[in-house]
Amino acid sequence: MYSELVMDHFSNPRNVGTIADADGVGTVGNPVCGDLMKIFIKVKDEHIEDIKFQTFGCGAAIATSSMVTEMVKGKTLEEAEAVSNKAVAEALGGLPPQKMHCSNLAADGVHEAIKDYRSKVAGKVE
Ligand code: FES
């Protein structure tokens, strides 16, 4: 029912944790099930230098969180913003239909963290 990649990222999630001095933090909740994801990013020269996640959710949510951190680490903010939830699910070899909603959090969490970073930068400039 789950691809090997999903099982791999669930059993051995990458980039789990928090970043104390994060430049941006994104928190998103899944309206379908109430699960929560938090993404922390460090930004340098418009690139995601480091990224960590904390997910209070199901195995599919943990796997998508783990995968999205790998997909955007080292990328520019613009490249990270272009990653969609669907792309994350596809990178994992797909999710069972009843678990597709679990991929709603992954890229959204990254996008929220970037938004948070950009608003902080804008605040500093003003
Ligand atoms: Fe909530 Fe999967 S059941 S994210």
Domains annotated for the chain, with CATH where assigned, are: 4-121 (3.90.1010.10)
The CB of 100 under 6 Å from ligand 1? The reply is no
* List 16, 33, 36, 100, catalytic entry: 33
The number of the ligand 1 atom at minimal distance from the alpha carbon of 60 is: 2
Output the pLDDT for position 51: 98
Contact criterion met (CB below 8 Å) for 110 and 72: yes
Q: Could you list the pLDDT tens digit for every one of the 126 residues in the chain?
A: 899 999 999 999 999 999 999 999 999 998 889 999 999 999 999 999 999 999 999 999 999 999 999 999 999 999 999 999 999 999 999 999 999 889 888 999 999 999 999 999 988 765
| DSSP per-residue letters across 6-70 | HHHHHHS-SSBS--TT-SEEEEEE-TTT--EEEEEEEEETTEEEEEEEEEES-HHHHHHHHHHHH
Angle of helix 4-11 versus helix 59-72 axis, rounded to 10: 90
pLDDT at 34: 92
Residue 86 CA, ligand 1 centroid: distance in Å: 15
Q: Which ligand 1 atom is nearest residue 35's CA?
A: 1
